[in-house]
Structure 1
């Protein structure tokens, strides 16, 4: 299990910031974007394999004609939602992402049981609550920082959109965080020595004390994406070498994309960040990543619901 590594990463990150202080915003933006692109994006690098598995039986060799347009359309619609309805789109993205994070944790727990429909629904609520701690905790503990980041990302001239998003997220968090605490306590009481049960605690700690971009990058790259990569390699029965070879093209493309974004962030874009103004390049990076994420997480939840039995794994 990867939990000891993640707990160590959280400890080292918090200790480093305690002794050295948090890095500047420009360095944080570039470092977070690079980490997410290189370590995060590749865990969706074989989504077309998942699409082929789901569609090939019905559509034969034409599965790709259904999969790729649908996949791209979902991402495009969501990206446009940031412009047309930013508050609804961003809060919905937070909820879907939290659910996906929690479901990945459940599927990686290696323990299963049969649940009634009510109990299965409770597991989905637990997934949103616990899986979204990296979002919900900063909304409550670091609202001004979240508002400033959203001001730079959300395509709106007024700061009102960022304020509305933070207010709505805080309302959601005020309900889900107490639920998450209850789930975490129950999990620790059941098995206090299991290190994976302490992962949400570490996530809460780094979400409180570290800047949002750092805490999210540590969680997304150091925990969630790693679980996704492990699951993907296991499901496709690939050796490490085979897996790297198949995922490498997307990884290289991601690195090149981030290199271009990093070049764009030089000069005027960096100046606008430092002055608290909206950066168009920052918008493109984060809105683009979210547009990629939404079809990915919906695809894998669909795959889970079809391929897996009615059993639902533990949440923590």
Structure 2
């Protein structure tokens, strides 16, 4: 990795990961009880799910990375169009940006990153599977233009997708991912959740998110200090395995439970 890749990894950890710091607020908004015991219970469940993902990655790296890419596509696609709708074609087009377009536009660089995460042989197998999906994704991407013409609410997210597609085609994968994750995905998630919170919940959530964020940074630093290996390898492993571990509980809250609450509120 060059210095710009290191900056991209740092930005992902420092600016992107903290958007999950509001998950406690999400849990309370969907009805998780308030109190010491429920608070401890929430964190134990959250940490247990994250630890389960990390353990499964250790045992089944190829399957774990494949599933992580799949659920990330679902999560990113839903988040990108959350302000516009939930139709399947825009969802598929947005969901494939990180998990299909970036690997296929920068295959050699992405395969080397995958090799760090799951080994060279598994990385080759995974890249072969992703390459097969590139043509169907391109078809959905092209179809999205016509779809946005007839549904104007999707024009703004389509323009954003075009911008990030251009960045993915011209920039190294870690940099284009960091730009997308920090500038689009994370800020959009924080803004939507923040607007849904009452004022008293906002005050509590600020300090809570700060504590979670600092705890995550300290954890990464401690693990990085004690593990052996090159700095570049460890940073890639910590970043993406850590993201995978946190994505499962985060998705269960944001894309399942919280979305169900929003649909019920919309019907009232």
Bin of the TM-score, shorter chain as denominator length: 0.7 to 0.9
Conserved 8 A contact 2:23-2:250: yes
Give the distance between the partners of 1:88 and 1:125, measured in 2 at CA. Answer: 26
- Counterpart for residue 246 of structure 2: 292
Deviations 1:26-67 (A, max 9, x none): 42343122212222122111212322343536x987534553
1:244, distance to aligned residue in structure 2 (A): 4.0
> Would you say 1:51 and 2:27 are equivalent positions?
yes
Please give the TM-score of this superposition, normalised by the length of structure 2.
0.83
Question: After superposition, where does 1:88-127 map in structure 2 within 5 Å?
Answer: 88-109=63-84, 123-124=87-88, 126-127=90-91
> Would you say 1:221 and 2:177 are equivalent positions?
no
1:183, distance to aligned residue in structure 2 (A): 1.7
Give the distance between the partners of 1:194 and 1:129, measured in 2 at CA. Answer: 13
1:168, distance to aligned residue in structure 2 (A): 1.7
- Counterpart for residue 253 of structure 1: 215
- Counterpart for residue 78 of structure 1: 53
1:249, distance to aligned residue in structure 2 (A): 1.8
Q: Secondary structure of the residue that 1:107 maps to in structure 2?
A: coil
Cα separation, partners in 2 of 1:310 and 1:295, compared to 1, 3 Å: same
1:107, distance to aligned residue in structure 2 (A): 1.9
> Would you say 1:162 and 2:126 are equivalent positions?
no
Deviations 1:289-313 (A, max 9, x none): 221122102221122332122799x
> Would you say 1:303 and 2:257 are equivalent positions?
yes
Give the unaligned 5+ runs of structure 2: none
Conserved 8 A contact 2:54-2:241: yes
Give the helix-richer structure, 1 or 2.
2
Give the distance between the partners of 2:244 and 2:174, measured in 1 at CA. Answer: 14
Aligned counterpart for 1:236 among listed residues 194, 197, 207: 197
Aligned counterpart for 2:102 among listed residues 130, 138, 143: 138
> Would you say 1:33 and 2:9 are equivalent positions?
yes
Cα separation, partners in 2 of 1:68 and 1:105, compared to 1, 3 Å: same
Give the distance between the partners of 2:52 and 2:14, measured in 1 at CA. Answer: 25
- Counterpart for residue 3 of structure 1: none
1:191, distance to aligned residue in structure 2 (A): 3.9
Give the distance between the partners of 2:15 and 2:147, measured in 1 at CA. Answer: 32
Please give the TM-score of this superposition, normalised by the length of structure 1.
0.72
1:96, distance to aligned residue in structure 2 (A): 0.9
